[in-house]
Chains A and B, each alone.
Chain A
């Protein structure tokens, strides 16, 4: 069964260091989302791609976060420099198109120390 792949599963980094997360969506899925989920809360959208184009990055802290999906397939989310408050689960999801069923990866648990 096709699934969204994310790596790494866990990441511990020191504050002020750079960190990157990778996501490979289900094949053929044009829409890709990155979410951040703080423990006990619902996921919050960071960035949404349609193919290689950013559709919504209004909640992305652009002074330290960046995201790309160069060939419209896999995607990378980067944080530089990491801050203590960035500790959270980072979730990637994909869907065939807007407004269709979204599927999530297992997430990357980031701890900033």
Chain B
């Protein structure tokens, strides 16, 4: 059974810092990995999707990498802003889509 772990569980940084969120998974036989953002009480917003054949994807200030063999993905956020404050979730696609518990990010002005 695929297990997905996200570290750290919570992170607080001052505005302007670059930061990295981590996602690890136990079964490397995945089809894709997707990063989401969730604001309190809301649904999930898709940020980036990386197919298993890809190493990274970029969207604006976000860069996600995937190392399938080691079971790891990172989400890099450049020049963080208070509006980036949210919970970030990774989901691993195999026969279904399994989520980690998320990293709660707070960016202080």
Contacts and interface: CB of A to CB of B under 8 A. Distances in A.
B59 interface: no
Contacts of A91: 43-44
Interface string B29-56: 0011010100001111110010100000
A107 B42 contact: yes
Given A42-B89, A42-B101, A91-B43, A104 B96 contact: no
Contacts, number: 58
**Number of chain B interface residues as a range:** 20 to 34
Nearest to A59: B96
Given A42-B102, A45-B97, A99-B32, A104 B43 contact: yes
- Grouping DSSP codes into helix (H, G, I), strand (E, B) and loop, the A interface class, with mixed when no group exceeds half, is strand
B35 to A, nearest CB: 11
Interface of B: 4, 6, 31-32, 34, 36, 41-46, 49, 51, 89, 91, 93, 95-102
9 contacts: A43-B44, A43-B89, A45-B97, A89-B41, A93-B44, A98-B93, A102-B91, A104-B45, A104-B46
Interface of A: 4, 6, 33, 35, 40-45, 48, 55-56, 89, 91, 93, 98-107, 109
Given A42-B101, A107-B42, 7 more contacts: A42-B6, A43-B44, A56-B95, A56-B96, A98-B93, A99-B93, A104-B36
